[in-house]
Amino acid sequence: MNSAASIRIDRLLVYLRLARPRSAADALIAGRAVRCNRQHVLRGAHGVRGGDVLTLAIGNNVRVIELLALPDRRGSPAAALSHYREVDPVGLDPKGQNTIGASPPVSGILPDDPEDFS
């Protein structure tokens, strides 16, 4: 398929072996566990294209994948892997959000430590 083509996301999840039957893909979507380009997918008929980034919350894991090409059918696991790449999830919390943390102290002494003011 070319990059201008699109495919239903529920069918894509089955073709890429991320869900077994389409009803399982629809259950993920209904549970708001699927995002496409940071937007929640609300219907199984949502169309996706090559280059889209999908975020899947499956169990306690968050998988972020970029679609490289759209498959024509469900194939072998090796064939499914050739259609997407895993995006490095470093910096994601379990809900798939970017982490924001305080910067570590420069000198290793906390600012409200009484020794700072002596």
Task: Identify the structural domains of the chain with CATH numbers, from first to last.
Answer: 7-91 (3.10.290.10)
pLDDT above 80 (res 102): no
pLDDT above 90 (res 45): yes
pLDDT at 99: 43
pTM for this predicted structure = 0.72
Task: Name the percent of the chain lying above pLDDT 90.
Answer: 67
Q: How distant is the alpha carbon of residue 87 from its chain centre?
A: 8
Please give the mean pLDDT across all residues of the chain: 82
SS3 26: helix
